[in-house]
Amino acid sequence: MSGFLKKNVNTQVEMTSADSLDIIRRVKEGSLDIGFVGTKVEKQCKYIPLIKDHLVLAAPNTKEYQKIFAGESDSGESDLRQILEVPFLARRQYSGTMKEALGSLKYFGIEEEDLNIIATFDSAEMLRDCVEAGMGISILSYQMIRELHESGKILIYRLPEKEFCRELYLIYKNESFLPEIVKRFIHYTEKYFKKEF
């Protein structure tokens, strides 16, 4: 957005933040021209894949969780089930991350009701902060917690990339009805992500 606005100096944008399913609904209804989402559900919208995002189990870096995570291995279900017995923090049902994570957990035979969910959050940022503060563990985007992990504030359990990798998309309903400046932004964004990633 920053690069686009530098090239289009007289442009003003109005931005909002919401869960993926809410953004998809609003794009479909026409109250938003475009959106960025982490799941793909609505066939009436056009989805442009931008980048892959790996989901990980994130935990506070405490002795308790260090001990739990020390037993991790790549063997799958039994280790994952042991980790998921601890307090789990979830996003609300409209979150693209939560939708993708729950779908991926089914690969291991784990359903939502198997999780020890103690709190649900509207905001991914609030959820991340509560993980860091020691409230419990969650499945989060690695990109979102990378700096906290690298600085030693959050532990991660790397989940199988094939099952826990999602696409991030730019979406819109019908390009022919979009303002010209919005069309330019869509094409700029596609080119930017192809060049950078």
| pTM confidence score | 0.72
Per-residue confidence of the chain (197 residues) as pLDDT tens digits? Answer: 999 999 999 999 999 988 888 999 999 999 999 999 988 887 889 999 998 888 888 999 998 888 877 764 444 444 667 777 899 999 876 577 777 777 778 877 888 888 999 999 988 899 999 999 999 999 898 888 999 999 999 999 887 777 788 889 999 998 778 999 999 999 999 999 888 76
Nearest to 77 by CA among 103, 109, 49, 42: 109
The answer to whether the CB of 154 falls within 8 A of the CB of 137 is no
The answer to whether the CB of 57 falls within 8 A of the CB of 157 is yes
Strand partners, 121: 91
Nearest to 122 by CA among 21, 191, 30: 21
